[in-house]
Structure 1
Amino acid sequence: MNFPLMRDGLRPRDTRRKRLFATCAISLTTLLVAPQVLAQEKVTLRVASFMPPQGFLNQAIVIPFLDRVVADSKGTLEYKWFPGGTLGRAPAEQLKLVQEGTADVAIVLPAYTPGAFDAYDVTQLPGVAGNTRAASVGAWRALEAGQIPTPDKVKVLGLVTTASNVLHMKKPLSKVADLAGQKVRAAGALQMDAMNNLGGAAVGNIRGPEIAEALSRNLLDGVLMDWIGIKEFRVDRTTSHHVDVDFGRVAIILPINAQRYASLPEAAKAAFAKHGGLAYAQTGGKAFDDAVSEYRSSYLKEKDHTAINFPASDSARIRTAFDTVVNNWVKEQPGRDKLLETFRKGAAEEK
């Protein structure tokens, strides 16, 4: 019996059928494997915050930023949020968490590492920046120029400053001279110098959570803090007299572990580039400015709260006191004059 031409013992029809089955199997395998491949490509970042879950910085700035980045990452990125010191409670530990990889990203205050990041203190100089958005942009421009250092083993995704620290007092003030002998809590050497130059008695070494008790026990007559912080630290319960004079701001950075960043998909890096850097400074700074306006207006609707500016006759005295702080800071280290120039120029972009 004669048979049609066969290959590997199969008739041509059998061969075509085998190829069809193989093609279908490959297609099915692709459909089944593709979601797994996509899932493997999505990176989950561990983001740490030592601040309470409902803290302003968390809710108004950092989480919205991360959500914008994730939305533009083309499905390559997600994050897991660890607030309230879950990965490390001490504020001074946060940078180390990122450098060692315990967290991929964290909220870090360079001021909590004294001596290592003194250049960030440019944001604390009193009376230099017009608002928080301006101060944040000025600080970012200085970091971008390399005049503010990036800590080892990290990449700084964004930088923002707190709102301006102003006076919150238990008793009313009408002029600068009324500060004489008043015990005012100040954070850091620059705030203390500025307060002392105006005739007050600056008090340091009182942690944020301890301020309310110190006020209630008459260990303090007032505090330098922003309008948002007085609510979060319950300072508003004892200080109802406010003076809007700018004693400077504190820089806050959002670093990511450098190796972790290098391993991210390109789409994730592009999303961070889009929403970080200058955009983060502008958006975060505006969030602080808007919140100050809202908080301040809300307090002043309450009958017990008042807010003033020192009279124009005190302007020269305030300017002299603040200029002394600025000039002394500049003279302490070479290059600070250039840093201050960059900061001021960057801040002026936002006028």
Structure 2
Amino acid sequence: MFIDKITKLTFGAALALSVAVPQTASAKELAFAVFIPAASPTIREVYQPWVDWFNEQTEGTDTSIKLFAGGTLGRNPLTQADLVANGVADLTLTVPSYTPGVYPDYDIFELPGYASNTAEGSTAVKEMYEEGLLRGYEDYYMVAVYSSDAYMLHSKPPIESFEDIKDKKFRVAGQIQTAVIDALGGVAQNMSALEMAENIDRGLIDGAMTDASVAKTFRVADVATNHYDANLGILIFAIIMNKEVYEELPQEAKDALAKSRQFIIDRQIASYSAAVAANKEAWASEDGSTLVVPSEADQAKIAEAVKPVVEMVGAEASDGLIDAYSAKLEDIRSR
């Protein structure tokens, strides 16, 4: 009898714990890993506002997001998806083009002469992803996908025409940018964004191929004061989430994530477009800086020079994807 009482008490305590533990364990702080500097305008104006908004939407569900910027959970931009796959982070910022051959459909967005700004690029990639046109990231939950502004050439020596690109060394990131610079007659130099300004300042390279916001954020414009405003492609960013983690979230959190894609794109377009416009205006008016918009003749030369790159990317991407991209941009511009 005494043993029966002990057994009943033990079972009762275990049952109480089994009810109580899941309530505590269900509290989930999702780690969001971002490799870009914590002081970046994108952190301040896009990612942190989104995190704050999400946490307001999910208040009372014991689910929240915490931002880890500046590579706190992993600095290498090439291995960000691994952080999610390995459970180091729950969400992370990735750049498809940083891992050549893994996401070939996303390479089309880096082609010169297509999307000319953040709004066109972000809207196109989001809608094409939602329409099921883009392969890649099937193993993850796609929180958001969006773009940078159009790449430009930022250089220490002046570039006033297409011919001035020849033999100049430009920092690039990834195989598509490399192919584009090579096609334009320049010399591609792969290195991290953190190395750009120092290498230009030391004369090891002549400039960098990046958009106007990145050029300002990473101090490229401080040492490369000549800007050739050619439409040389855009960079795609994707915020991805571990699928198993996503499936375990309460419905309120899933609903907030469903709305997050548009929230992030709206913030990206507003903040990025404003930064790019302000930078270009300053470069056009400040003493010691130049802003050159290629002539129609130069634009035609650029388009002709990069045709082999377009063919190479098109061959690796899904059939008809570049045509679908062109059609999507025409649709966006007509709205």
TM-score interval, normalised by the smaller of the two chains:
0.7 to 0.9
Task: Give the equivalent residue in structure 1 for 2:44.
Answer: 59
Rounded Cα–Cα distance in structure 2 between residues aligned with 1:283 and 1:247: 23
Asked if 2 retains the 8 angstrom alpha-carbon contact of 1:94 and 1:107, the reply is yes
Task: Give the equivalent residue in structure 2 for 1:232.
Answer: 217
Structure 2 counterparts to residues 259-274 of structure 1, below 5 A: 259-274=244-259
Whether 1:175 aligns to 2:175 is no
Whether 1:104 aligns to 2:86 is no
Task: Give the equivalent residue in structure 2 for 1:335.
Answer: 318
Q: Deviations over 1:236-290 (max 9, x none)?
A: 22211111101111111101111111111111111111232x4533442343222
Rounded Cα–Cα distance in structure 2 between residues aligned with 1:218 and 1:336: 43
1:90: Cα distance to partner? 1.3
Runs of 4+ displaced beyond 4 Å: 36-42
Asked if 2 retains the 8 angstrom alpha-carbon contact of 1:50 and 1:90, the reply is yes
Asked if 1 retains the 8 angstrom alpha-carbon contact of 2:166 and 2:186, the reply is yes
2:148 to 157, 162, 171: 162
Task: Give the equivalent residue in structure 2 for 1:207.
Answer: 192
1:307 is aligned with what amino acid? Answer: L
Normalised by the length of structure 1, the TM-score is 0.81
Rounded Cα–Cα distance in structure 1 between residues aligned with 2:206 and 2:81: 34
Task: Give the equivalent residue in structure 2 for 1:249.
Answer: 234
Asked if 2 retains the 8 angstrom alpha-carbon contact of 1:167 and 1:223, the reply is yes
Larger Cα-atom Rg: 1
Asked if 2 retains the 8 angstrom alpha-carbon contact of 1:107 and 1:252, the reply is yes
Task: Give the equivalent residue in structure 2 for 1:47.
Answer: 32
Note closer, same or farther for the CA distance 1:66–1:206 as it changes in structure 2 (3 Å cut).
same
Rounded Cα–Cα distance in structure 1 between residues aligned with 2:211 and 2:290: 15
Rounded Cα–Cα distance in structure 1 between residues aligned with 2:24 and 2:326: 46
1:311: Cα distance to partner? 2.1
The share of aligned pairs that are identical, in percent, is: 28
Rounded Cα–Cα distance in structure 2 between residues aligned with 1:268 and 1:287: 25
SS at match of 1:79: strand
1:341 is aligned with what amino acid? Answer: D
Whether 1:290 aligns to 2:274 is yes
2:318 is aligned with what amino acid? Answer: G
Rounded Cα–Cα distance in structure 2 between residues aligned with 1:280 and 1:140: 11
Task: Give the equivalent residue in structure 1 for 2:287.
Answer: 303
Task: Give the equivalent residue in structure 1 for 2:9.
Answer: none
Asked if 1 retains the 8 angstrom alpha-carbon contact of 2:121 and 2:148, the reply is no
SS at match of 1:97: helix
Note closer, same or farther for the CA distance 1:213–1:128 as it changes in structure 2 (3 Å cut).
same
Rounded Cα–Cα distance in structure 2 between residues aligned with 1:280 and 1:232: 20
2:288 is aligned with what amino acid? Answer: D
Note closer, same or farther for the CA distance 1:344–1:66 as it changes in structure 2 (3 Å cut).
farther
1:41: Cα distance to partner? 5.8
Whether 1:312 aligns to 2:293 is no
Rounded Cα–Cα distance in structure 1 between residues aligned with 2:309 and 2:322: 13
1:183 is aligned with what amino acid? Answer: K
Whether 1:219 aligns to 2:201 is no
Task: Give the equivalent residue in structure 2 for 1:26.
Answer: none
Q: Deviations over 1:121-165 (max 9, x none)?
A: 111111111311211121122322333234354201001112211
Note closer, same or farther for the CA distance 1:197–1:92 as it changes in structure 2 (3 Å cut).
closer
Rounded Cα–Cα distance in structure 1 between residues aligned with 2:317 and 2:273: 32
1:37: Cα distance to partner? 10
Rounded Cα–Cα distance in structure 2 between residues aligned with 1:315 and 1:201: 16
Task: Give the equivalent residue in structure 2 for 1:344.
Answer: 326
Task: Give the equivalent residue in structure 1 for 2:104.
Answer: 118
1:335 is aligned with what amino acid? Answer: S
Q: CA RMSD in A?
A: 2.4
Q: Deviations over 1:43-97 (max 9, x none)?
A: 3211111121112332222222222222223532322221121111211221111
Rounded Cα–Cα distance in structure 2 between residues aligned with 1:347 and 1:287: 21
Unaligned runs of 5+ in 2: 1-20
Whether 1:189 aligns to 2:175 is yes
Note closer, same or farther for the CA distance 1:161–1:313 as it changes in structure 2 (3 Å cut).
same
Note closer, same or farther for the CA distance 1:232–1:258 as it changes in structure 2 (3 Å cut).
same
Structure 2 counterparts to residues 65-80 of structure 1, below 5 A: 65-76=50-61, 77-80=63-66
1:190: Cα distance to partner? 2.3
Note closer, same or farther for the CA distance 1:48–1:141 as it changes in structure 2 (3 Å cut).
same
Task: Give the equivalent residue in structure 1 for 2:5.
Answer: none
Asked if 2 retains the 8 angstrom alpha-carbon contact of 1:73 and 1:270, the reply is no
Rounded Cα–Cα distance in structure 1 between residues aligned with 2:89 and 2:310: 36
